[in-house]
Amino acid sequence: MLDPSTNNELPVIPAKCYFSIGEVSELCGVKPHVLRYWEQEFTEINPVKRRGNRRYYQRHDVLIIRQIRALLYEQGYTIGGAKAHLSSADSKNDSTITKQLIHQMIVELEDILELLR
């Protein structure tokens, strides 16, 4: 799972509904071609496709991509192992995403508090 300590290395996810593949690439620290490949391998990643087959990712997609990135790059899982881990962790996954969202909100609120001071 994605630790909050890992989350500090990656940029804060802006409060938007949809993100382009370039934005997700920067937010998750992976190249666009890797995102397209992961989209084929992991059914959990399901961006909305609009005109010209452009991909638009939602916040939960970004969180799942960050989780996959942590499994593959930091914890040393293979693609198959990461798939198995995600499918076995589906019940835990909701609580993990909730924890990540709460952590994200705390960071954003702290930033707002600093601006107000």
Per domain, the residue ranges of the chain are 4-116
- Distance (Å, whole) CA 64 – CA 62: 5
The average confidence (pLDDT) of the chain is 84
Band the pLDDT of 15: cuts 50, 70, 90. confident
Q: Are 7 and 76 a contacting pair, CB within 8 Å?
A: no
pLDDT score for 6: 47
Report the top-level CATH class of 4-116.
mainly alpha
**Residues with Cβ within 8 Å of residue 57, at least 6 apart in sequence:** 18, 19, 20, 21, 23, 24, 45, 47, 48, 65
Q: Residues 27-64: pLDDT tens digits? A: 999 999 999 999 999 988 999 998 888 999 999 999 99
Report pTM.
0.70
Tell whether the model's pLDDT for residue 100 goes beyond 90.
no
Query: Is the pLDDT higher at 93 or at 101?
Result: 101
- Which is higher by pLDDT, 10 or 92? 10
**Contact between residue 33 and residue 55 where contact means Cβ atoms under 8 Å apart:** no
